[in-house]
Amino acid sequence: MGHTLAEAILSRAAGQQTVRAGQFVTCEVDFCLVHDIFAGTLFDTLEHLGVDRLWDPDRVAVVLDHFSPAPSAAVAGLHRRIRQGVERFGIRHFFDTGQGICHQLLVERRLVRPGMLVVGTDSHSTTYGAVAAAGTGIGTSEMAYAVTTGTLWFQVPPTVRCELFGRLRPPASWKDLILHLLGRYGAEFVQYRALEFAGEAVSQVDLAGRMSVANMAVEAGAKFCFFPPDAVTRRFYGEDGATWPTPDPDAAYERTVSVDLSSLEPLVALPHRVDHVRPAREVQGVPVDQAFIGSCTNGRVEDLEEAARYLRGRRVHPRTRLLVAPASRAVYEEASRRGILADLVAAGAVVLPPGCGPCFGGHLGLLGDGERCVGTHNRNFQGRMGSPHAEIYLASPATVAASAVVGYITDPREVEVAVG
């Protein structure tokens, strides 16, 4: 019997011929990611324990993305301590203020590669499955253990296979695919499990789309989410990928589900649950105070470009403020060079620095009592973006941009787009 991709990667990382779902193993990790909310605590912990060197400083990345730039003297002090820690431990892969969101950077810079086992102090580390790496979130204490010893324990997860067929019909998007899975199977769909995409239509999903889907798979409980290596992966790395692990044809899956892409339509997750999903047309007319386009889920050039199709030559509705945060400096530069940002700004958007923006509720556009936000990000939990008496709706860039134009949540098909 063959391996799922999770079993193949964990077998290699555990130094064993074969590991199976359910087994507990100690693995060598290939790469560690720490961001600014936890890097200070991590360095303090290491110092407290007397750890004077890391297992491999070149396999650790530190990113200042959550509070970027620092919103307070306290956070500026935290960032300063992080820079000192980076210096002390000789960490080369350090991304300071304004470079972008950790997950975008690690893929963009190709620090993460197919087949790697990657742990990050961020739940959205599942994003790395977009390039067939086993990425997963851990806490700060486990990270202290991982960056010092280079190892961590894992239970090999069972895998749910999701077969895609049919053709996506825009303005339905890859964000709508993951919202569909959340709505249909719930927030515990793949709890403690790996989610592996397959099927004749998986080749249609571009890298940006894979990142959106793998990113939000954690909202369904996923430990890992995989798009196995294919032509899209090979093109991105410019390699033939002959040594990359792939799932075996006779691998054992716990369950297989399928999605007809042609049946997808623009969807919205309603407050305060990621799996409270309805067609956008059924939520039509709900007024919005703030629209947000960005985050590690949907802050890429493809997303800004899609948003610009709805906003070009128009104005954001007076009732609504539109915030746009490019996922990285490279995204910012490309969107700027191609005139996408100019179109968004002309429409009235406020462009934020590359980074997490208001998504995690720290700064840069939080919500007050009674306010409502529709955003392209990944969580709509109560209190996520400021006031617990605010509401967050999650949707695709097309749906959010179209909603910003009319000032209420709308199915993007209700708003005409400029051709060309």
Q: Which residues bind other proteins (CB under 8 A)?
A: 24, 37-38, 40, 45, 49-51, 66-67, 74-75, 78, 120-123, 125, 137-142, 144-145, 148-149, 153, 155, 187-188, 191-192, 219, 221, 223, 273, 360-362, 366, 379, 381-386, 388
Nearer to other proteins, 165 or 192 (CB): 192
Nearer to other proteins, 190 or 198 (CB): 190
- Min dist. Cβ of residue 376 to other proteins (A): 18
215's enclosing H/E stretch is helix 207-216
Nearer to other proteins, 317 or 384 (CB): 384
Residue 272, preceding peptide bond in cis (omega within 30° of 0): yes
Q: What are the tokens at 210?
A: 């894979």
- Residue with tokens 């959205």, as numbered in its chain: 124
Residue 138 three-state SS: coil
Nearer to other proteins, 229 or 357 (CB): 357
Q: How far apart (Å, rounded) are the C-alpha atoms in residues 123 and 135?
A: 9
- Min dist. Cβ of residue 407 to other proteins (A): 27
- Min dist. Cβ of residue 38 to other proteins (A): 7
- Min dist. Cβ of residue 375 to other proteins (A): 14
- Min dist. Cβ of residue 157 to other proteins (A): 9
DSSP 270-327: PTT-TT-EEEHHHHTT-B-SEEEEEHHHH-SHHHHHHHHHHHTT----TT-EEEEE-S
Cβ-based neighbours of 333, under 8 Å, separated by 6 or more: none
Nearer to other proteins, 205 or 390 (CB): 390
Question: What are the helix (H) ranges across 312-415?
Answer: 329-337, 340-346, 397-406
User: Torsion over CA of 353, 356, 358 and 362, rounded to 10 degrees?
Assistant: -110
Cα–Cα nearest to 205, from 165, 161, 253: 165
- Min dist. Cβ of residue 237 to other proteins (A): 27
Nearer to other proteins, 54 or 344 (CB): 54
